[in-house]
Amino acid sequence: MPHPFVYSHHDFVTDVSRRSENYPTVAPPSTKFDTTIQAGWKDRMDRGLFRYHLGDLETRILPGPHCYVAQLNIQRGIERRKPQEILSIQQEFNASQFNFNKINPDEIIFELIRSTEGDTASTNEGRLSQSCRMIVLINVSPLEFGHCLFVPDPLQCFPQILTRSAVQFGIESVLLSSDPGFRVGFNSLGAFASVNHLHLHGYYLDHELKIESMPVTPLVPKKGFYHMQDVPAGFLFYTESEDVEKVARTVCQVTDFLVDNNIAHNMFLTRGCPPCGCIQTRKDCYLRNGVRIAIWPRMACFGAKEESAFNVALCELAGHLPFKNKKDYESATETDVIDIVQKYLLPDDAFDRLEQQVSSHLLAL
């Protein structure tokens, strides 16, 4: 096992901004977290541990207000591991199927360990009941530079259902990076998760996404629970470094509700500006000091035929579109993308009912 990477809240980067013509900023220097992931990832690429060589991906921004980031990644569509047969959002872990205890150990970059020493917010019970370690390994079928998988305590064999600790690790990973292009995400079973062994995705995308600053409407203000106003319709939380544990707990209350009601979902974490009520000036729209956590409830897909252009999972819902073939990549319009994405979302009336149910659920806790 490579040397562990131990961190605490003192390592979080709290001064990140998007650069613009009106508000030029100097990017913070790369953190130890960034350099460790990137150096380890490049090393494994040089050693031939990936299924294909990922060069600079052909990229274009689709015309239109959503500014979708389209990338041509034919090899991922061809070479990625065949997804496991998934029959239920609550499907149990099966040790006989592929899982992350069966990988080549050389694929592991490091072990990420959260230090709770001196952290008065963590109780003894919390330390005992929640994992404080995460294995970071390469995704051998990468969709972008630095594409890694974050696997909490692989030997515990957790199924692909979010835990509070996993959500907290995801948020903290984004805060450990000084790069506003570092993203973390999660696909539930039935939402294009291909392995039923708890894991999150992390990768770098050097393009701004609309989700970083899109407007939101408060649903349960005291819980920091918002509705994303733009398509695709979903829920949003926001946190800065001091509230991570509290927000992770509330996020998990929402995803637990979705799992209990057999509703598939995707989650995407990215640096973003504060919600609308916290924005006082235009400059605030470029702040990336905190993390936006988007959750999309969606139609479950079990053994469904895949789309020819792109599958609809965590990155596609966030506006990053890895296309599988050159024809669709070159011809797709914003309208085409919206039409594909909408097929996988809940109908408006079902989403409205769910939004009310989740809001009531949070208020009752």
Q: Would you state the structure tokens that stand for residue 296, as one six-digit string? A: 């999309």
Among residues 108, 116, 97, 176, the alpha carbon closest in space to that of 139 is found at 108
pLDDT attached to residue 307? 87
Using CB atoms within 10 Å of the CB of residue 82, give its burial: 0 to 12 exposed, 13 to 18 middle, 19+ buried: exposed
Q: Helix (H, G, I), strand (E, B), or coil: what is residue 43?
A: helix
The answer to whether 301 touches 190, Cβ cutoff 8 Å, is yes
- CB neighbours of 56 closer than 8 A, spacing ≥ 6? none
Q: Which residue has the higher pLDDT, 120 or 38?
A: 38
Would you place residue 122 in the very low, low, confident or very high pLDDT band (cuts 50, 70, 90)? very low
Per-domain residue ranges of the chain: 4-364
- Interval 52-88: pLDDT, tens: 999 999 999 999 999 999 999 999 988 777 778 888 9
- Interval 86-121: pLDDT, tens: 889 999 999 999 999 999 999 999 999 998 765 544
pLDDT attached to residue 231? 76
pLDDT attached to residue 24? 55
The single-letter code of the amino acid at 179 is D
Give yes or no for residue 130 having a pLDDT over 80: no
The single-letter code of the amino acid at 188 is S
Would you place residue 304 in the very low, low, confident or very high pLDDT band (cuts 50, 70, 90)? low
- CB neighbours of 344 closer than 8 A, spacing ≥ 6? 298, 299, 301, 312
Percent of the chain with pLDDT over 70: 91
Q: Would you state the structure tokens that stand for residue 252, as one six-digit string? A: 């998990």
Question: Is 9 among the catalytic positions?
Answer: no
pTM of the model: 0.93
The superfamily (CATH) of domain 4-364 is: ATP adenylyltransferase (3.30.428.70)
Mean predicted confidence (pLDDT) in 266-293? 85
Helix axes 244-260, 348-364, angle to 10 degrees: 130
pLDDT attached to residue 267? 98
Question: Catalytic residue among 66, 197, 199, 265, which?
Answer: 199
Give yes or no for residue 303 having a pLDDT over 80: no
Mean predicted confidence (pLDDT) in 242-246? 96
